[in-house]
Amino acid sequence: MGNSPVVVALFLVLLCPGPAVEAQTDFIDETNFSFVNLSGSATVIPDVGIRLTDQAEFIKGRALYSEPVRMKDGGSVDETFSFSTTFVFCILPPSDLSMAGDGLAFIITPRASQDKAATGQYLGLFDKFTSMGQSSNHLFAVEFDIVKNEEFNDINGNHVGVDLNSLISIESKSAGYWIGNQFLELDLKSGQNIQAWIDYDHLQKELNVSVAPAGSLRPEIPLIYMENLSLSSILEEEMYVGFSASTGLTIAGNYILAWSFSTNGKAPALNTSMLKPILQRNPKSNNLPLIVAVSTGLGGFLVLGVAAGALMWFKRKKRRDPIEDWEVEYWPHRLSYRDLAIATKGFREEQVIGCGGFGKVYRGVLPSNGLEVAVKCLLRESREGVKEFLAEISSLGRLQHRNLVQIRGYCRRDKWLFIVYDYMPNGSLDKLMFENSGGVLGWVQRYMILRDVAAGLLYLHQGWEQRVVHRDIKSSNVLLDSELHGKLGDFGLARLYKHDDNYLSTCVMGTPGYIAPEVAHTGKATPDSDLFSFGVLMLEVACGRRPVTPFPDAPQIGLLDWLRELQDNEKLMDAADPKLNGEYIEDEMERVLHLGLLCSDPQPKARPNMRQVLQILQGEASLISLSLDMCEQSPMTESSDNYSTYAYCSTSLEGR
């Protein structure tokens, strides 16, 4: 950016010209939005953003990224890409509040032109007669509507709706956001800057939409959450992404101030701290006399305020750590130490919920938004602690998936580093399985947790623009939310690399019992080694036994050796956790045991991939078909390196 002014309009795009797992990044950072195509009334206001519509009647404006974005794998009808976007918008209130305005919409459309589209309630998306509701429209939109239109079954005059090929929303909610258990209404036409987040996960077929005042953290509970939503019939291979808006009788304007978009990855976070409300810039404002009067009256206090503020600033600057380059590059959500101290009640011992190798973890509630969080503290003097801190910030901070623990921010204070992430009320899986005095974790919950972890791992391995190797998958790193859904946490050992790269580690990382043999021998960590650890986790959950016996003098052998011995004697089902008292689905138990042994095969090439594992756990593929595939890939000789897999296939397929 050189010496240009502070960036107010930010646009970051992640294009995907190849297969879904091989996205190519194209970052753009400008203040004039020269990379968008504008039509209708849309125009760029320097140092402000895009004005889609101004204060005029029955006009429409559209702003789209200049090149079509690939939204589907051309080799498969159903391989729709996931996408994620966040943007800041402003809808100025109508100049005459008795007159009707309309609103704006984020859109994904195959057509860049809006020549035939109508204004008013049609948002510049459809004409008045023929196009509404046609499957050939291939339109996905999220509308931010400030008028109740009876013909579209609108719920009210201040709502957010999801539209497919029509303006009759398939789901809509009154505009607002959640703070804890409290829902706060949000007036879309208030003139304030509002941030929106829209995420679609094609693997889970889930859509999340949230809104909040710009500068707030993303609400923990989305405004709109939709399950079983497939966009395969809506999205074409290449689509245009952007915004459309229109006016009715009279309205002052629709603005886009900042925007980021990504396919197959989390949309980059926006720096909203320098975005000022459009109302403060509006030259047509009639409040000038009042502003002058108030400014004059406060002039005397201004000098004293500046002097006092400067003194406080210099005092605080001496205690504040400088913001380093990696902080700007990786993650902008730096929280204040004061807020963390308030959240954790001064880091009291009764707030401690866990201890790790580099510090304690505290439970807290952020005073700014009431969000319940966990605060991990790391001593800065520890070189390894700083390395883990950087890794967790750079990886987890840029990833978002329902089965990954979401990071909320970080803080630095003197010799201490703090990572703030979502609090998981049910703790970790290992504590619930092995230290739970309240009862036995049932099979239904165990199986659901395994599916959740598999979905999170698939996202890490194949769902983002870079592969993420977790390197420390174990039951204590599987955290459980209020509904016992599993989420992978502790990314302190995670590493990122491009899909066509090999990752080399100079030291063995992980936990004994979960470490793949090749990692112990070579120090190389790959998605295959994550598969091994996940296989051990599956067996641990099914058997109710830790992978390594905690008492060295116990007569029991290691979990994997014990299970392979049972398998050789065709007694594998005897390994089912006796604490379940036989209360499990036999087919699922057998599936987990066999699949766990396949994933923990000593030979990396003999293991299935994460997509195959998830398909089997979800019942979308059979273990028999996977075993046949593995057998076909393995030579049938004892001298082969994959002989163990062939022997397993031969045994597991008998009688099936």
Rounded mean pLDDT for each run of 10 residues along the chain, 656 residues in total: 34 34 37 74 86 82 89 70 92 58 88 80 79 88 90 90 94 93 90 94 92 91 94 92 82 83 83 74 45 49 57 50 53 77 90 77 89 84 57 65 85 80 91 84 96 93 79 91 90 53 48 86 85 96 86 65 92 95 94 95 91 91 68 47 41 40
Fold of the 325-422 domain: Phosphorylase Kinase; domain 1 (3.30.200)
Q: Tokens in use for 160? A: 């957010």
Angstrom CA distances, 107 to 353, 425, 518, stand at 43, 37, 47
Amino acid letter for position 128? K
Provide the greatest CA pair distance for the chain. 92
Angstrom CA distances, 11 to 7, 104, 647, stand at 10, 18, 54
Q: What are the domain boundaries of the chain? A: 11-280, 325-422, 429-652
- Please say if 472 is a catalytic residue: yes
| Overall CATH class of domain 11-280 | mainly beta
**Is residue 626 classed exposed, middle or buried when 0-12, 13-18 and 19+ CB atoms within 10 A define those classes?**
buried
Read off the pLDDT of residues 245-264 as tens digits, 9 standing for 90 and up. Answer: 988 765 658 999 988 888 88
Of the residues 102, 430, 452, 472, which is catalytic?
472
Homologous superfamily in CATH for domain 429-652: Transferase(Phosphotransferase) domain 1 (1.10.510.10)
Q: Tokens in use for 259? A: 């925007």
Read off the pLDDT of residues 362-409 as tens digits, 9 standing for 90 and up. Answer: 999 998 888 899 998 877 655 555 555 665 566 566 677 889 988 888
DSSP structure string for 313-367: HHHHHHHSPPPPHHHHHH---BPPHHHHHHHTTTT-GGGEEEEETTEEEEEEE-T
d(CA 25, CA 263): 9
